[in-house]
Structure 1
Amino acid sequence: MAPPASLLDRYRGSTFEPVYATKVTVTGGEARHGRASGKVRSDDGELELDLRLPVVMGGEGGGTNPEQLFAAGYGACFHGALSLLATKHRIAIPDLSVEVEVAFGRDPIDGQHTLTAHVMVRLPGLELKVAQELVRATERICPYAKLVRQGIVSSVRVLV
């Protein structure tokens, strides 16, 4: 069942109001390195995965990695937001697909690492202008698109 278009209703509060929250724990696995051999588990048990370093990065493969998880989350969120907008505007897009390419690489600014993300939206049968307007509107409301464009409120705490 698709979520209601009412999720698009504007919030008028003065502080962040969570609608849903989740917690995921990553442990290191046999290599004691989350990225290379980690285990991922959500607090409700619905997500349980093995993390593995991709072969091209010197790993053995055989599991997912943070880039795939980020791409999946970004793609699912963008697809969902676009679907809600289309429903609200009574635009039928039965064959909508969203492909997200995430790359992990060297950052020329600080010499360390960074990510890039590129979204490709397929809207077969839709007039180009309508498709472009719908995608631009989605970029403004999709939380992942907002995250990659303007950052996110975050914190890092140490627990011992």
Structure 2
Amino acid sequence: MKTLYTAKATATGGRKGHVKTEDGPIDMPLSMPKGLGGDGGEGVNPEQLFGSAYSACFGSALSLVAEKHKVDLGDFSVTAHISINKEDEGGLLLSAVLDSYLPGVDDIKTAETLVNEAHEVCPFSRATRDNMDVTLNVLRDE
């Protein structure tokens, strides 16, 4: 395997600390969400960071797949909903819902094919496969 890129980020103080990337674009406080017993402060939380990264990566995978199929996605977007869930046994698990809005794709079967193929090639989807529940949705204009 050939490494193409490595990001380096360091968090200090856990969910109530600070996170910074080695090259500087991310340099921000972390806050515990109220839903997890925190104060819901001004900082970001790991789920927000993961959702931002997953939605961006999945969007790139959608672009790649659409280009392969010669389909114009239009002004598309991907919204990731990242949840922390508590198992009956008390353990915590992540789940994700990815809402893909593809205004340039009129045919629902084509849209679903693109989203499913993007899920196969997206590195975040591959990393989470069989490790967490991921629900894929195609959003349509009403």
Shorter-normalised TM range: 0.7 to 0.9
Across the aligned residues of Structure 1 and Structure 2, the Cα RMSD in angstroms comes to: 1.4
Greater percentage in strand: 2
2:21 maps to which residue? 42
Hey, what does 1:124 align to over in structure 2?
103
**How many angstroms apart in 2 are the aligned matches of 1:149 and 1:46?**
28
Whether the 8 Å contact between 2:72 and 2:104 is mirrored in structure 1 is no
Residues 145, 24 of structure 1: CA spacing in aligned structure 2 closer, same or farther, 3 A cutoff? same
Aligned residues: 129
Match of 1:56 among 16, 22, 35: 35
User: RCO higher in 1 or 2 (8 Å CA, sep ≥ 6)?
Assistant: 2
Inter-partner Cα distance in structure 1 for 2:118 and 2:33: 31
**Structure 1 residue 112, shift from structure 2 partner:** 1.5
Asked if 1:77 corresponds to 2:77, the answer is no
Can you give the 5+ residue segments of structure 1 that lack an aligned partner in the other structure? 1-15, 29-33, 152-160
Q: CA deviation at 1:93?
A: 1.1
CA distance in 1, matches of 2:9, 2:126: 22
Query: Which structure 2 residue ranges, 5 or more long, are not aligned?
Result: 132-142
- Secondary structure of 1:94 counterpart: coil
Instruction: Give structure 1 regions of 4+ aligned residues with deviation exceeding 6 angstroms.
Output: none
Alignment TM-score, normalising by the size of structure 1: 0.75
What SS does the corresponding residue of 1:19 show, helix, strand or coil?
coil
2:7 matched residue in structure 1: 22
The higher radius of gyration belongs to 1
Q: TM-score, length-normalised on structure 2? A: 0.84
Partner SS for 1:40 = strand
Q: Percent identity?
A: 39
